[in-house]
């Protein structure tokens, strides 16, 4: 039995351009073994479970308690499942709310849009960087997005994997810089087509979109991506520089926590508005 070549580059430290074969589709080298596929499946399962949870609570309690119908809203269900909420993180020490939003989504269109971009870039970045690097960047980028959102939106809840996806896009940008010109044309075209959408997500986003979360994922992704680039350098001196950028991520997180703990926030009631990261 021939070993699936999806993880051929998994144990290699060196970064090398990936050249797909002609029979491959838009989703480069789709594999059920990839972490991207497994993560996407989990996110869809959780999304449908939150829908079922909302329907169940509504049918069970709404008729007897119409005045408190907001308690059974989808927004409050997402809070129960771990949406980002700054007072709960600061005053109740519910730090899992920095990670859980990555796996929660506020609507069907929200999760479909996120997963399309995630599947495409998740697969090709796993091929060029390995699943360990991509998974670290994905989670840490999502935490960074939640922290930036905590500073910008103190009392609103937020959900979505967009912060992590922006971290993936940042890693792709660093890859373009370091691997150019050895990049397949289709990969360049897709990134160029996405660039205007990324730009518009910052300057012309709807009110419910958490721009701060997008920015947080992008900044953290750039720092970690630069660290990865230095880690792949030939010079030992340059290799050591990777820890500078990893350290900058840590210092950024500490700085944001300092801001949050020094801010005089009120421990307000939950479920008063939800932003979609």
Stated pTM of the model? 0.83
The two tokens of residue 195 are 């660039």
Helix (H) or strand (E) holding 142: helix 131-152
Q: For position 13, what pLDDT does the model report? A: 44
Residue whose pair of structure tokens reads 């900058």 in the numeric block: 248
Rounding to the nearest 10 degrees, give the CA dihedral for residues 171, 176, 182, 187: 80
Q: For position 262, what pLDDT does the model report? A: 78
Q: Are 146 and 213 in contact (CB under 8 A)?
A: yes
Which positions of the chain have pLDDT values less than 70? Answer: 1-31, 61-72, 182, 199, 201-207, 265-277
Q: For position 10, what pLDDT does the model report? A: 43
């Amino acid at each position: 039995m021939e070993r699936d070549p999806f993880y051929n580059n998994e144990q290699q430290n060196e970064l090398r351009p990936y050249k797909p074969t002609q029979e491959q589709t838009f989703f480069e080298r789709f594999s059920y073994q990839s972490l991207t596929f497994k993560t996407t499946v989990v996110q869809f399962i959780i999304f449908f479970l939150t829908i079922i949870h909302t329907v169940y609570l509504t049918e069970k309690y709404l008729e007897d308690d119409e005045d408190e119908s907001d308690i059974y809203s989808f927004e409050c269900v997402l809070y129960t499942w771990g949406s980002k909420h700054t007072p709960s993180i600061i005053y109740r020490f519910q730090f899992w709310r920095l990670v859980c939003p990555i796996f929660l989504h506020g609507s069907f269109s929200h999760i479909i849009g996120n997963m399309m971009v995630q599947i495409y870039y998740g697969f090709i970045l796993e091929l060029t960087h390995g699943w360990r690097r991509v998974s670290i960047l994905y989670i840490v980028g999502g935490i960074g997005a939640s922290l930036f959102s905590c500073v910008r939106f103190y009392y609103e809840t937020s959900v979505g994997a967009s912060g992590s996806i922006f971290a993936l896009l940042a890693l792709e940008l660093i890859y373009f810089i370091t691997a150019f010109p050895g990049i397949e044309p289709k990969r360049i075209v897709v990134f160029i087509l996405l660039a205007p959408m990324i730009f518009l997500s910052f300057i012309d986003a709807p009110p419910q979109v958490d721009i701060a979360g997008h920015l947080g994922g992008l900044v953290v992704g750039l720092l970690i991506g630069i660290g990865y680039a230095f880690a792949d350098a030939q010079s030992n001196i340059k290799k050591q520089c990777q820890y500078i950028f990893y350290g900058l991520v840590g210092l950024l997180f500490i700085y944001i926590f300092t801001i949050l703990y020094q801010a005089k926030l009120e421990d307000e009631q939950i479920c008063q508005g939800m932003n979609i990261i």
